[in-house]
């Protein structure tokens, strides 16, 4: 680090001895920001406008409680001092503790239901995100934690969606939708995101008279049925596309901007990728419905309403964007 360009924020606070509640509140705020304690009452952070604003809010809180607070910009005088400041934010022990918690959680995953598993995953994800947010000087520990988290989430995915298909190489031919009417479509039972979204897409945009068969295992798929979302199925993962996206490409649905928005949700939840704001909400609803409804027909009916609503919302957004572009 070039210490001459390094900028730091130092907050020095003192609260009356009677202010135990306020002291705990401010301490929790400092901890959430990732502050390093220089000594009792003196807290350091790498400078940024957002962190300065957050520290000022804590300083103001301290003053309202009858204490004292000084927020100042500081700069190390030597390269050694700059290095020492940075070392105060070494997070390798925090990452190690997180990885241990994932290891312990992994041992009990098989005994959890889908809702409990999804709830646990969200809790651990929040903890991981919170640590990454205060890891101002990422090291090899952060890289190793990312890899461990990827392995852990894949384990959860394998339990939520056994027999998840592997991607295959090759192109996706354009198909004549008229040849796919009134057919039997089959996929693995205990629907999860890609399968329920694909079934909705089939019935809504491809084959309105579609009948579905839910398979105990892929090898049970009848020869006359059109399989989707399992290895060897007619429609499955191709390249970086999940089954929902393969179906869209196969039947020329990729020009629909609302469907493309839905595809980003399905892709993110099925195989990961860039975060999508609506994905966590959809996953929570799907997880709860899956736990509550033991029948895949009922699950498809309920989640179809959710997908209908999201589709209508995305259609409105697409129309508004188009109108705004025309107005310009």
* Interval 40-59: pLDDT, tens: 899 999 999 999 999 999 99
In angstroms, rounded to a whole number, what is the distance separating the alpha carbons of residues 244 and 226?
14
In angstroms, rounded to a whole number, what is the distance separating the alpha carbons of residues 298 and 122?
25
320 shares its domain with 266: yes
- Whole-model pTM: value is 0.60
In a domain, 170, yes or no: no
* pLDDT (0 to 100) of residue 297: 97
72 shares its domain with 144: no
| pLDDT tens per residue across span 182-223 | 999 999 998 999 999 999 999 999 999 999 999 999 999 999
pLDDT above 70 covers a percentage of the chain that reads 95
In a domain, 268, yes or no: yes
Is residue 4 predicted with pLDDT exceeding 60?
no
* pLDDT band (50, 70, 90) for residue 328: low
In a domain, 122, yes or no: yes
Average pLDDT over residues 24-51: 94
117 shares its domain with 187: no
Is residue 267 predicted with pLDDT exceeding 70?
yes
135 shares its domain with 247: no
* pLDDT (0 to 100) of residue 2: 47
CATH number of residue 41's parent domain: 3.30.70.240
99 shares its domain with 227: no
In a domain, 165, yes or no: no
In angstroms, rounded to a whole number, what is the distance separating the alpha carbons of residues 53 and 51?
5
- Give start and end residues of each alpha helix (H) in the chain: 20-33, 49-64, 79-87, 92-107, 114-133, 140-160, 193-201, 243-250, 257-271, 279-292, 296-327
In a domain, 213, yes or no: yes
Pairing assessment for the beta strands 68-74 and 8-14 based on DSSP bridges: antiparallel
In a domain, 273, yes or no: yes
In angstroms, rounded to a whole number, what is the distance separating the alpha carbons of residues 277 and 21?
35
Are 211 and 187 spatial neighbours (Cβ–Cβ below 8 Å)?
no
Looking at the structure of the chain, the number of domains it has is 3
* pLDDT (0 to 100) of residue 171: 87
In a domain, 169, yes or no: no
* pLDDT (0 to 100) of residue 112: 86
* pLDDT band (50, 70, 90) for residue 153: confident
215 shares its domain with 320: yes
46 shares its domain with 156: no
In a domain, 156, yes or no: yes
Are 243 and 236 spatial neighbours (Cβ–Cβ below 8 Å)?
yes
| pLDDT tens per residue across span 60-100 | 999 999 999 999 999 998 889 989 999 999 999 999 999 99
Domain that holds residue 24: 3-87
């Amino acid at each position: 680090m070039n210490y001459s360009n390094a900028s730091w924020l130092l907050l020095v606070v003192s609260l009356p001895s009677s202010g135990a509640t306020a002291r705990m509140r401010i301490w929790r705020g400092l901890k959430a920001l990732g502050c390093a304690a220089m000594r009792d009452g003196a807290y350091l952070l790498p400078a940024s406008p957002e962190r300065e604003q957050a520290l000022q809010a804590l300083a103001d809180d301290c003053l309202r409680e009858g204490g004292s607070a000084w927020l100042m910009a500081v700069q190390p005088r030597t390269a050694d001092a700059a290095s020492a400041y940075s070392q105060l934010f070494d997070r390798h022990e925090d990452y190690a503790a997180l990885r241990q918690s994932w290891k312990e959680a992994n041992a009990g995953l098989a005994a959890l239901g889908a809702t409990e598993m999804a709830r646990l995953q969200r809790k651990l994800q929040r903890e991981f995100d919170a640590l990454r947010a205060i890891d101002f000087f990422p090291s090899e520990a952060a890289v190793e934690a990312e890899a461990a988290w990827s392995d852990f989430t894949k384990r959860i995915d394998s339990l939520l969606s056994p027999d998840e298909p592997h991607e295959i190489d090759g192109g996706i031919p354009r198909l004549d939708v008229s040849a796919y009417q009134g057919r039997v479509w089959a996929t693995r039972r205990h629907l999860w995101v890609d399968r329920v979204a694909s079934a909705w897409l089939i019935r809504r945009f491809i084959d309105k008279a579609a009948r579905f068969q839910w398979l105990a295992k892929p090898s049970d798929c009848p020869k006359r049925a059109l399989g989707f979302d399992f290895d060897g199925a007619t429609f499955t993962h191709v390249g970086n596309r999940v089954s929902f996206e393969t179906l869209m490409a196969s039947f020329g649905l990729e020009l629909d901007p609302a469907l493309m928005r839905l595809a980003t949700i399905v892709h993110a939840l099925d195989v990961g990728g860039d975060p999508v704001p609506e994905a966590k909400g959809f996953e929570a609803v799907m997880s709860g419905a899956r736990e509550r409804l033991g029948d895949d027909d009922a699950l498809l009916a309920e989640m179809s309403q959710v997908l209908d609503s999201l589709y209508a919302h995305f259609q409105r957004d697409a129309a508004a964007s188009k109108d705004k572009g025309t107005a310009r």
